[in-house]
Chain A
């Protein structure tokens, strides 16, 4: 298996633009997590899905952020409109059956909002 695949690897955009980050979890994994990593706040859980259903989105910063998982093999994290303070590395992770299991992380998307 190729592991968790995130795209793009790097994204540079201007303030106010829409940004879409993509994630393909490992085949057969039922849980998917989106994290944001910054120097100031460390690794923050934004949202996680179980069987394509959002279970906890309390970590989503504000209404500008939205996440979807239309099927078991694809998820998106969208920021609209983007702001400079959204600059961070965004990680997607998946696990077999939830939070007691090992998380497999993607390589992350480095987002820079100018």
Chain B
């Protein structure tokens, strides 16, 4: 079965700095990859997804992710973060069903 590993449980950064949240996956077949964001006391919302085609995927709120098949990675990036980006971010892989990573808490400090 597929699985996802998010390498950082917490990432603190200063406002307007770039950020990268790391995600590695394992799967025996072609997969679909997703990044979701969770704000406090809310459900998850989709940031972006990779199904096929271009390996660089652009999502909402200025986020983008790059699918790297050789490294089995799908890291999330943003060139300049805002205070409002403070949230929990989940990487997910879909094969037979949707499996989520443990999450990375991004804290943006002024």
Q: How far is the CA of A33 from the CA of B34 in the complex (A)?
A: 16
Task: Find the B residue at minimum CB distance from A102.
Answer: B46
Q: How far is the CA of A42 from the CA of B4 in the complex (A)?
A: 12
> Would you call B100 and A42 a contact (CB within 8 A)?
yes
On chain A, the residues within 8 Å of B95 by CB distance are 99
Q: How far is the CA of A42 from the CA of B97 in the complex (A)?
A: 16
Q: How large is the interface on A (under 10, 10 to 19, 20 to 34, 35 or more residues)?
A: 10 to 19
> Would you call A100 and B51 a contact (CB within 8 A)?
yes
- Which of A4, A42, A45, A99 has a CB less than 8 Å from the CB of B43? A4
Q: How many residues of B contact A (CB 8 A)?
A: 22
**Chain A binding site: helix, strand, loop or mixed by DSSP?**
strand
- Is B84 on the interface with A (CB-CB < 8 A)? no
On chain B, the residues within 8 Å of A35 by CB distance are 100
Scoring A residues 86 to 105 as 1 if CB is less than 8 Å from chain B, else 0, what string do you get? 00000101000001101101
Given A42-B102, A45-B98, also A102-B49 (CB < 8 A): yes
- Is B45 on the interface with A (CB-CB < 8 A)? yes
- Is A43 on the interface with B (CB-CB < 8 A)? yes
Task: Find the A residue at minimum CB distance from B103.
Answer: A42
Q: How far is the CA of A105 from the CA of B100 in the complex (A)?
A: 13
Query: Can you name 12 A-B residue pairings with CB atoms under 8 Å?
Result: A4-B43, A33-B97, A33-B98, A43-B100, A43-B103, A45-B98, A91-B44, A102-B46, A103-B44, A103-B98, A105-B43, A107-B41
